[in-house]
Amino acid sequence: MDEIYVKCPACNKKQRHKIIRVKDPERGLAICKCTKCGSLSYSKIKKESLEIMLILSEGGKAKKRFEKFPVGAKFKKGDCLKLKDERFEIRSIESNEGGRLEEGGIEQVRTIWIAPYTKQLSISVHQKGGSTVAYRITKGKDERIKKGDVLELEGKKVEVTRIMGDSGDKEQEGVSRILALHGRFL
């Protein structure tokens, strides 16, 4: 959490305060806690960025993290959020009032739920002799795989011969399985 130096109403002198929560970003009003006496008070602050809690859902587990975003930043459910070198999909946005939002500015947002912007795919490679080897790969959600593409799996190249979806053959949406060239590795 951020800290500021303001006059404490209980101590009656300037002390270091932790910013607990920004109540009204437009007016710069925040709830602050004195690090010396522990009393809570409202203080005026001027901020270029605000810190928001992000909850990362990955592999059935949720991890909390805090990130700073510039004042005026906008968020929309389903959008891609880039943090450092990683990309995440915004799954849900919680407002300061406790409800859910489809989209909103940083001033309205308390928490954002995110998930990795990737998808796990199964690839079945048919080899000579009738055996099949299964692989799992991770691809970005915006990366497209189509029939005829050549993929590298554990140092071996295979050609995509068929794409299976949740309800049969599909080009991309709902892809659940990819079948690679029968008979040989390229």
Q: What is the pLDDT of residues 32-70, one digit of tens each?
A: 999 899 999 988 877 667 788 999 988 788 999 988 888
* Phi, psi at 117, each rounded to 5°: -90, 55
Report the sign of the C-alpha dihedral through residues 103, 104, 110, 114, in that order.
Answer: positive
d(CA 31, CA 53): 17
Amino acid at 169: D
d(CA 95, CA 115): 19
* Phi, psi at 24, each rounded to 5°: -140, 90
> Is a pLDDT exceeding 50 seen at residue 96?
yes
Q: Average pLDDT over the chain, rounded to whole?
A: 80
Instruction: Assign 181 a pLDDT band (cuts: 50, 70, 90).
Output: very low
Q: Check residue 11 and report its DSSP letter.
A: T
More confident residue, 171 or 4: 4
Q: Check residue 129 and report its DSSP letter.
A: G
With contact defined as beta carbons under 8 Å apart, do 186 and 157 qualify? yes
d(CA 110, CA 93): 8
Residue-level pLDDT at 135? 84
> Is a pLDDT exceeding 60 seen at residue 183?
no
